Structure 1
Amino acid sequence: MDPIQKAIEVIESHEEGEQCSYQKVSENLAVDRSTLARRHQGKQASYAANAKQQQLLSPQQEFELVKYIERCSERGLAPTRDMLKNSASAMAKWEVSES
């Protein structure tokens, strides 16, 4: 488990009214206090959460794109970058970038 997530669980496990400081928890679990505070207050997301939010295709759509590539390869037709871009654009419902 991510150390920051573990620290957040420690903070949230305290009873209401019970004193629990970011400083004490961060020292006990060896995490950065400011990162812990921002993450707990919802001001900063983890790298994994940001990456998931920026993902253009869903996992199912990615799976379908891979299947399309495999079908093309089985037929002896190597898919070009334009073919992949057009397929991904159709799945995403908007134009995808060159990268």
Structure 2
Amino acid sequence: MVGAALLHTFWPALVGITVVVIGVTTARAVFWSIPTRFLTGAAAAGGFAFINSVGTFGGFAGPLMMGWLKDLTGSFSAGILGMVAMLLISTLLTGSLKYFVKDE
């Protein structure tokens, strides 16, 4: 994704964004299984509702952030780099769950 933001050429950008979409799509299946690892019953349903709420908020905030950064800088590169930052933060937060959630 960083390459797509910095290279400004079609084919490397397309390949980079395609790889990112494949990674994000494959991570969804694993992400949806997280609440059932440490929540049961109504709490698990609440965990699923929270995931859905975060996804819905992301559907609003992502395009808003992209448009705001494009208006601010005059380039889509800043928006793409902003998305890279959000993906990196979410990856680190998800990876940190192994330190806070104990398996039974």
TM value normalised by structure 2: 0.29
Greater per-residue helix proportion: 2
Which structure has the larger Rg? 1
TM-score by length of 1: 0.30
Report which structure shows greater RCO (CA 8 Å, sep ≥6): 2
